[in-house]
């Protein structure tokens, strides 16, 4: 084969490969964005909507259900609402929007963001509840830019730039699996722009010491080691653990993927109390500041006889008061 023929063949192969790669990328992008209907690509407007946030570390998008008030001011805050196991971010946006609409005044002006971490990109508990820090088998530590926690920071930066709000930090609320996400983010990313966190009704917790194996504690016996943890700073971040006093029913095994129940308790109330007391003792022994609080309210995890099951509105109301004490017409008793 002549040199000209070889060069011609190489060009054809190169063109073919480029066509395949570009085509595959387009298909990949299409399917990644088609998972959330009625979401605009990276466009956030006044009022209620959904936009697709393009993830920097991968070729896919995260749907963000949002509510932006008509009037933004220097006092406008940013609030993240983290969904539970069902990954129904739109429902969480709607719950918080109803509180906003019933209490609309200058003191309660906030942008609401409810990101949807889909199973396809953040699979199972490791991908969402645990912040996607490790691969599904918990052996390989993912780069920090692939953590689900990191995406909250990136989304905050994008929304600030898009809306031109002045907020330097944000509030974050999580329920159930979202509560696991939130309290773990406080522990593993205390350098994030967190103003205050609320974790309501987590199914299990990580105790920040080395007496229990990860993800129930900080002891890592298999696979790669945990990243360094700045607990001193984590303990100073204001965080409220909200528990429902009615949530004392024994949980099924599906609520304890990593066998934490043996030490933490067999129901949500007991596990939350155990977690808070353990951390309080740890900070006392370390003689460090402790800005976490425990709030127990007359609420259930899920309202009975609803289809689909919905979070107890009282949990959301109590969380809202933690963020915005001047709210009116909110029931938290």
315-325: per-residue pLDDT in tens?
999 999 999 88
- Read off the pLDDT band of 99 (50, 70, 90): confident
pLDDT of residue 29: 34
Q: Between the CA of residue 286 and those of 231, 280, 300, 325, what are the distances in Å?
A: 10, 10, 34, 31
Q: Is residue 269 predicted with pLDDT exceeding 70?
A: yes
Whole-angstrom distance, CA of residue 25 vs CA of residue 31: 10
Average pLDDT over residues 81-94: 95
Residue 221's Cβ-side half-sphere holds a number of Cα atoms within 13 Å equal to 8
pLDDT of residue 25: 36
Contacts of 127 (CB under 8 A, 6+ apart): 117, 119, 121, 136, 148
pLDDT of residue 298: 92
23 against 132, higher pLDDT: 132
pTM of the predicted model as reported, rounded to 2 decimal places? 0.87
Average pLDDT over residues 57-77: 91
**SS (HEC) of 40-107:** EECCCCCEEEEEEEECCCCCCEEEEEEEECCCCCCCCEEEEEECCCCCCHHHHHHHHHHHHHHCCCHH
Q: Is residue 32 predicted with pLDDT exceeding 50?
A: no
- Read off the pLDDT band of 256 (50, 70, 90): low
Whole-angstrom distance, CA of residue 113 vs CA of residue 116: 10
pLDDT digits (tens, 9 = 90+) for 172-219: 999 999 999 999 999 999 999 999 999 999 999 999 999 999 999 999
pLDDT of residue 257: 67
- Read off the pLDDT band of 226 (50, 70, 90): very high
Average pLDDT over residues 66-88: 93
pLDDT of residue 209: 94
pLDDT digits (tens, 9 = 90+) for 285-315: 999 999 999 999 999 999 888 887 789 988 9
166-177 core/surface letters (b: 16 or more CB in 10 A; e: else): ebeebbbbbbbb
290 against 327, higher pLDDT: 290
Q: Is residue 23 predicted with pLDDT exceeding 80?
A: no
Say which CATH class 39-323 falls into: alpha beta
């Amino acid at each position: 084969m002549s040199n000209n023929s070889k060069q011609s063949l190489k060009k054809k192969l190169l063109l073919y490969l480029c066509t395949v790669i570009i085509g595959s990328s387009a298909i990949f992008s299409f399917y990644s964005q088609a998972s959330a209907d009625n979401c605009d690509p990276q466009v956030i407007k006044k009022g209620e909507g959904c936009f697709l946030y393009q993830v920097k570390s991968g070729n896919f998008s995260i749907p963000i259900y949002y509510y932006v008030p008509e009037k933004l001011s220097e006092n406008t805050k940013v609030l993240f609402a983290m969904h539970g196991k069902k990954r129904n971010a739109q429902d969480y946006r709607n719950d918080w929007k109803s509180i906003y609409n019933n209490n609309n005044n200058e003191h309660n002006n906030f942008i609401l963001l409810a990101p949807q971490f889909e199973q396809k990109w953040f699979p199972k508990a490791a991908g969402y509840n645990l912040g996607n820090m490790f691969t599904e088998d918990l052996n390989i530590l993912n780069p920090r830019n692939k953590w689900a926690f990191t995406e909250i920071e990136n989304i905050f930066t994008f929304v600030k730039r898009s809306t031109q709000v002045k907020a330097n930090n944000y509030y974050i609320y999580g329920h159930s699996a979202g509560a696991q996400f939130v309290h773990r983010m406080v522990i593993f990313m205390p350098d994030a722009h967190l103003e205050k966190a609320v974790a309501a009704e987590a199914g299990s917790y990580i105790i920040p010491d080395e007496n229990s194996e990860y993800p129930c504690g900080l002891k890592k016996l298999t696979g790669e080691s945990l990243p360094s943890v700045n607990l001193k700073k984590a303990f100073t971040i204001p965080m409220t653990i909200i528990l429902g006093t009615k949530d004392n029913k024994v949980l099924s095994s599906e609520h304890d993927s990593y066998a934490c129940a043996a030490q933490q308790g067999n129901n949500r109330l007991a596990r939350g109390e155990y977690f808070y007391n353990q951390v309080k003792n740890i900070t006392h022994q370390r003689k460090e500041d402790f800005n976490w609080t425990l709030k127990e309210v007359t609420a259930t995890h899920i309202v009975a006889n609803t289809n689909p099951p919905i979070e107890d509105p009282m949990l959301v109301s109590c969380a809202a008061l933690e963020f915005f004490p001047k709210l009116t017409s909110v029931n938290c008793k």
